[in-house]
Amino acid sequence: MKEDIIIIGGENPVFMREELHKVTLSFPEEDRVVYYGDDLNSEDFFVDLLTGSLFTSRRMLIVRNAEKTKSDFEKALLEFLRDPADTVCLVLEYGKIPTKILNATTALGNKRAAIHNFKKAWAQDQKHYARRRLDEKNITVSGATIDLLVTFAGEDIEELASMLDKLISYAGTDKKQIDEKDIQHVLERAQNASIFDLIDGIFNHNITKSLQSYRDLLHAGESFPAINAMFYRATKIMWAVKTSKNGQMHEGFAVSPYEWRKYQDFAHKNNLRFLSLCFECINQIEFESKTMPNVHAETTFEKFLCSL
């Protein structure tokens, strides 16, 4: 990565997430440090930013949710942008890039700075995105199938990305052509009752989404032990992410790179105390489901979801 400053922002969270992942790949994990705007101490951050490393000539510092930093951060950042240090690549992620930061970064020129400001993805953009994702996996689809995907997603880029993940997982390594019947089979049920939506709701501490997904799963006939088993697996992955060194996956840990990155995004919102409560809930549910009528375990889980 040749630039000293990289700004990522806009109204397209999927493209932003992909761009952030792409730019970070140019640095080894041990040379990357991630900060979050809502709990960043400006003084400590800029000391770290201006301090070199004994082990590498260049590091990457990433500030996610930079719009949530305190006012003194922007003042110090503007001062830094007058002459950025070449020993660090600073990556800033904004929901909306502040005009002052945008102007100061632009003034550095494209040899020292890169700005990725993604606009909202309309239907045609989403169709190109879906086609690219499926082409990367050598999956053949018709134009009508792409249209159906975007329609199912309600022209929501986040929903479309989630659907594509499920569809690619469904295709695996064997199925190289997907038609509209496959879309109906995979996505109609996934929209109404998805264990992944339940897990996302739990780790985002979204009570409404969690309860709705949980009830949809029960209504769709999903077995309660299967729900608890997936909850246990998800909590185990989250624990591994939280306790990993420099965000590196433990050797031999059976998780796809996509899942690992997804749980890294969740990690900021979940501490080890909460994960301990998850394990306690899982153990209690397992005991109750084996010794009492199902209504007891189901009620225990519902109470847990209401406490999120």
Q: How many beta carbons lie within 10 A of that of residue 7, not counting itself?
A: 24
Backbone angles phi, psi at 59, to 5 degrees: -125, 165
**190 pLDDT more than 60:** no
Residues 6+ apart with CB under 8 A from 2: 111
DSSP 69: S
Q: Which tokens is 115 given?
A: 């700005």
- Can you spell out the DSSP letters for 204-268? TT-HHHHHHHHHHHHHTT--HHHHHHHHHHHHHHHHHHHHSGGGPPPTT----HHHHHHHHHHHT
The mean pLDDT value of the chain amounts to: 87
Average pLDDT of the segment spanning 266-283: 94
Correct CATH for 123-190 of 1.10.260.40, 2.40.30.330, 1.10.8.60, 1.50.10.20: 1.10.8.60
Where do you find CATH 1.10.8.60 in the chain? 123-190
Q: How far is CA 154 from CA 25, 123, 141, in A?
A: 32, 9, 19
pTM here is 0.64
For residue 100, the model assigns a pLDDT of 96
Q: Which amino acid is at 195?
A: I
Model pLDDT for residues 30-80, shown as the tens digit of each residue: 889 999 998 899 999 999 998 877 778 899 999 999 999 999 999 999 999
For residue 9, which of 21, 20, 25 has the smallest C-alpha distance? Answer: 20
CA 37/CA 109 separation, integer angstroms: 25
Correct CATH for 195-306 of 2.60.120.260, 3.40.309.10, 1.20.272.10, 1.20.1260.10: 1.20.272.10
Packing angle between helix 157-171 and helix 13-24, nearest 10 degrees? 60
Q: Which amino acid is at 119?
A: K
For residue 172, the model assigns a pLDDT of 72
CA 206/CA 213 separation, integer angstroms: 11
Model pLDDT for residues 289-306, shown as the tens digit of each residue: 888 888 888 889 999 999
Where do you find CATH 3.40.50.300 in the chain? 5-118
Where do you find CATH 1.20.272.10 in the chain? 195-306
Radius of gyration of the chain (CA): 22
Give rounded-to-5 percent helix, strand, coil for the chain. 60, 10, 30
Q: SS3 of 138, please? A: coil
Fold of the CATH domain 5-118: Rossmann fold (3.40.50)
CA 214/CA 235 separation, integer angstroms: 16
Model pLDDT for residues 137-176, shown as the tens digit of each residue: 899 888 888 988 888 777 788 888 888 887 887 777 666 7
CA 6, 9, 14, 15 dihedral sign is negative
